[in-house]
Amino acid sequence: MKKTVRDIELKGKKAIVRCDFNVPMKEGVITDDNRITAALPTIEYMLEQGAAVILMSHLGRPKGKPNKEFSLEPVAKKLEELTGKPVIFAASDVVVDDDVRAKAAALKPGEIMLLENLRFRAEEEKNDEQFSKDLASLADVYVNDAFGTAHRAHASTAGIASYLPAVSGFLIEKELKFLGEAVDDPKRPFVAILGGSKVSDKIAVIENLLNKADTIIIGGGMAYTFLRANGFKTGNSLCEEDRLDLARELQAKAKEKGVKLLLPVDSKCGDKFAEDCETCFTEDENVPDGWMGMDIGPKTIEIYTNAIKDAKTVIWNGPSGVFEFAAFEDGTKAVAEALAANEEAITVVGGGDSAAAIKKFGLTDKITHVSTGGGASLEYLEGKILPGVAALNDK
């Protein structure tokens, strides 16, 4: 178990907090402030405990150079609005300089300061020792609350933790609790639903979950590599020819371990990858020539939703079809609704496309936990240690 802000003394301390303020912006205006509001509970808790709070984040990809377009100044303004407190914006092209040091030194308990975009410095993503020390020198304790970058060893997510007491904020605590309990201590039956475009992106997840889940449900484009490997026709569906042996091996391993691995028994197809294409349903696993499997079919939906209905733990990563097109959203929607309807189960949605799908169908509130970090949650499901979590102090 990792220490959290609750486990340390904050009164009179300066805390430097890695947040995820990588918000969407259009012409300098923040178009969605969800990530900023999500960070408020940790920030407000620390202020109440008597800490002075120095916030830091990356925004976009300025590629290691200062670039006004990616300045965090609009985030400072938004934070002022949301907290009702002044926020000192430490504008510096090099993130930490003498002026920033002086501002940090003068910061009093209850006050908030925000550093400039960490990725104005190439040293950030290189996990540079000196830059990590420079950041650490501003504060007495380090708090990481940015799950979205926890799978990266950067100066602000990993390096800095060598020089200060290091704990998590509430957001990372929540991610670890729900992802951790689901993967490592699941109530059974434990059903994992995997989808998305490619098998090659999900091999490590499937291999890890083969040791943990009772049932693995495969949907999306990746299903067709499995179906082809099993001798079915897949038409123009996404299929990774070089992964057919792997698909057979994964199925053999599932059998050996007594894990049910479910594949689509029918599909909804399109004659091209487009919103306005002609559509057809297949009778069985085979996709006719000239057609592309773009969603699971009604028989598959029934089998998959039944499996979800009886589960006590469900993890979902990757859509079951091309849910961005209305004609191919039914499978993903049915999976999302089955998760939402299973009130007995712990339901965890890995970030990225599945989180977008849950949001599109208005079901976010019915899910136990929707992860905020696409890449980080995928690596967690792969059984990898996240550097930004590993660097934190143990309880």
Under the rule (CB under 6 A), what is the footprint of ligand AMP?
195-198, 201, 220-221, 238, 293-294, 318-319, 321-322, 324, 352-353
Min dist CB 79 to ligand AMP, Å, is 31
Six token digits for residue 199? 């098998």
Contacts of 119 (CB under 8 A, 6+ apart): 58, 59, 60, 61, 62, 63, 64, 70, 125
Min dist CB 349 to ligand AMP, Å, is 12
Catalytic residue among 198, 312, 359, 360: 198
**Separate counts of helices (H) and strands (E) for the chain:** 14, 17
For residues 65 and 272, which CB has a smaller minimum distance to ligand AMP in the complex?
272
Min dist CB 315 to ligand AMP, Å, is 14
CA-to-CA separations, 311 to 265, 369, 371, in angstroms, rounded: 21, 16, 19
Parallel/antiparallel/unpaired status of strands 346-349 and 313-317: parallel
Min dist CB 197 to ligand AMP, Å, is 4
For residues 36 and 239, which CB has a smaller minimum distance to ligand AMP in the complex?
239
Alpha-carbon gap, residue 270 to 289, rounded angstroms: 11
Min dist CB 76 to ligand AMP, Å, is 33
Q: Is 352 a catalytic residue?
A: yes
Min dist CB 43 to ligand AMP, Å, is 31
Alpha-carbon gap, residue 108 to 113, rounded angstroms: 10
Alpha-carbon gap, residue 45 to 88, rounded angstroms: 19
* Residue environment code for 239-254, b if the CB has 16+ CB neighbours within 10 A, otherwise e: bbeebbebbeebbeeb
The dihedrals phi and psi of 320, each to the nearest 5 degrees, come to -85, -10
CA-based torsion, 124, 129, 130, 135: positive or negative = positive
Cβ-closest position to ligand AMP: 196
Q: Is 272 a catalytic residue?
A: no
Cα first-last separation, the chain: 6
Min dist CB 278 to ligand AMP, Å, is 16
CA-based torsion, 382, 388, 391, 394: positive or negative = negative
DSSP code at position 159 = G
Radius of gyration of the chain measured on its C-alpha atoms: 23
Catalytic residue among 35, 78, 268, 333: 35
Q: Residue 134 CB: number of other CB atoms within 10 A?
A: 21
Rounded (5°) CA angle 34-325-216: 80
Q: Is 198 a catalytic residue?
A: yes
Catalytic residue among 159, 352, 374, 388: 352
Catalytic residue among 60, 180, 375, 383: 375
Parallel/antiparallel/unpaired status of strands 267-270 and 279-281: antiparallel
Query: Would you name the residues annotated as active-site residues?
Result: 35, 198, 352, 375
